[in-house]
Amino acid sequence: MVSDARGPAVKIGVESLTVSFSGKPSLRDVTLDIPSHEILSIIGPANSGKTTFLKTLNRLIDFIPTSRVTGRVLLDGRDVREDDDPVSLRRQVGIIFALPVPLPTTVFENVVYGLRRQGKNGKKELDALAEKALTDAYLWDEIKDRLDEQAMKLSGGQQQRLCIARTLAVDPQVILFDEPCSALDPISTAKIEEAMLKLKKNYTIVLVTNNTKQAARVGDRTAFFLMGSLVEMGLTSRMFTSPRDKRTDDYISGRFG
């Protein structure tokens, strides 16, 4: 694996991470650092282990009985598999999936769902936190008069930003995006990307995307995964102009994948 030199402070450190399912490897000996307040774009063809990588960062992988994980994932220097309760970890490391999954309730109750589970029920506090989360998700101006409507009445793009707001409301440190725009139109995609670029001021973001143009638009750094291995990682500006590995160049240029 080829990597640029380490830059800003590391938020997530991954050391010799290997993940298998029923003995079949999905990730092989992945080592990388994710700096604080940056967007890491992860690209690669199908079955490269990208989603597995995300689910290992916040231990969603634990829900798969056949999974086996070796190596370490460090959040601010703490081993998440040894030092962190998984429920607490998932509040710190939130995830947005490819398809929006709003709860079958109102827009407002979607946003404050996690807050209520934390024991916060004061109306003024919930109102303020919901407005902030929806604003940060670039959704407040569109739906501020629709908070009592059922979330399923929102458009697909609005539902995805609602899911982002729900994640932001519980004040995570890291946000994982797994193909968040794969089912969205270009206008909704642009709004999600704009939100990501603003959010990195306060959060560390990891974006898995099959859209190399999206990776180039928003990623500070880009990692290329292939068949479960990290082939190359570096500054996005370099990765898309002068990749050091021919396989990276072939994928970015569309010669395979």
Q: Tens of pLDDT along 192-201? A: 999 999 999 9
79 domain-assigned: yes
**pLDDT tens figures, 94-109:** 999 999 999 999 999 9
142 domain-assigned: no
Domain count, the chain: 1
**Neighbouring C-alpha atoms within 13 Å toward the C-beta of 45:** 11
- Residue 255: per-residue pLDDT: 76
Query: What contacts 135, CB < 8 A, 6 or more positions away?
Result: none
Whether residue 257 is predicted with pLDDT greater than 60 in this model: the reply is: no
- Per cent of the chain over pLDDT 70 is 96
- Per cent of the chain over pLDDT 90 is 90
User: Could you give the angle at which helices 186-199 and 123-136 cross, rounded to 10 degrees?
Assistant: 110
**pLDDT tens figures, 150-187:** 999 999 999 999 999 999 999 999 999 999 999 899 99
48 domain-assigned: yes
136 domain-assigned: no
Lookup result for tokens 């231990």: 59
82 domain-assigned: yes
153 domain-assigned: no
- Distance, in Å, from the CA atom of 244 to the CA atom of 246, rounded to the nearest integer, reads 7
Whether residue 29 is predicted with pLDDT greater than 80 in this model: the reply is: yes
**pLDDT tens figures, 78-131:** 999 987 789 999 999 999 999 999 999 999 999 999 999 999 989 999 999 999
- Distance, in Å, from the CA atom of 164 to the CA atom of 19, rounded to the nearest integer, reads 27
Q: Which CATH number characterizes residue 96's domain?
A: 3.40.50.300
Task: Determine the structural domain holding residue 230 and report its residue range.
Answer: 2-103+173-252
119 domain-assigned: no
186 domain-assigned: yes
- Distance, in Å, from the CA atom of 148 to the CA atom of 159, rounded to the nearest integer, reads 14
pLDDT class of 5 with cuts at 50, 70, 90: very low
